[in-house]
């Protein structure tokens, strides 16, 4: 009985950890675009890599880049180039799923993290 309970708890913890890292694409993560070119919605204003990180990455990598479920990113730029980081975001690595950010958003966050040395 104890083994079944332990297996259930560990399995639930793993599912929760993976779900937290997945981010999701719900309407709560979108903000109104205040630009004058359209008035649509966007995940974050252009150039706001830190906000994108906080929305999609901090649940696993920590609010201060200190790590958690995922590795610390405080000095990501000392070991990885912008291109390396963008590739990891696009393709995933280890338990990190691919495609949490894409296109310009992935480039912005990769550039921001590459500057962390």
The pLDDT assigned to 2 comes to 60
Question: pLDDT per position in the chain (117 positions), as tens?
Answer: 666 655 555 555 544 444 455 544 444 333 434 343 344 444 445 459 999 999 999 999 999 999 999 999 999 999 999 999 999 999 999 999 999 999 999 999 999 999 999
Please give the model's pTM, rounded to 2 decimal places: 0.61
The pLDDT assigned to 43 comes to 47
Spell out the SS3 assignment of 46-93: CCCHHHHHHHHCHHHHCCCCCCCCCCCCCCHHHHCCHHHHHHHHHHCE
Rounded to whole angstroms, the Cα distance separating 93 from 72 reads: 14
The pLDDT assigned to 13 comes to 52
The pLDDT assigned to 1 comes to 66
């Amino acid at each position: 009985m104890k083994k079944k309970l332990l297996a259930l708890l560990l399995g639930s913890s793993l599912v929760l950890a993976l779900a937290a890292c997945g981010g999701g694409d719900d309407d709560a993560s979108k903000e109104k675009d205040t630009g004058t070119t359209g008035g649509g919605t966007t995940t974050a204003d252009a150039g706001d890599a830190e906000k994108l990180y906080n929305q999609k990455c901090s649940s696993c990598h920590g609010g201060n880049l200190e790590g958690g479920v995922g590795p610390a990113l405080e000095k990501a730029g000392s070991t990885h180039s912008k291109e390396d980081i963008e590739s990891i975001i696009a393709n995933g690595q280890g338990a990190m799923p691919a495609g949490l950010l894409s296109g310009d958003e992935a480039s912005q966050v990769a550039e921001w993290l590459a500057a962390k040395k």
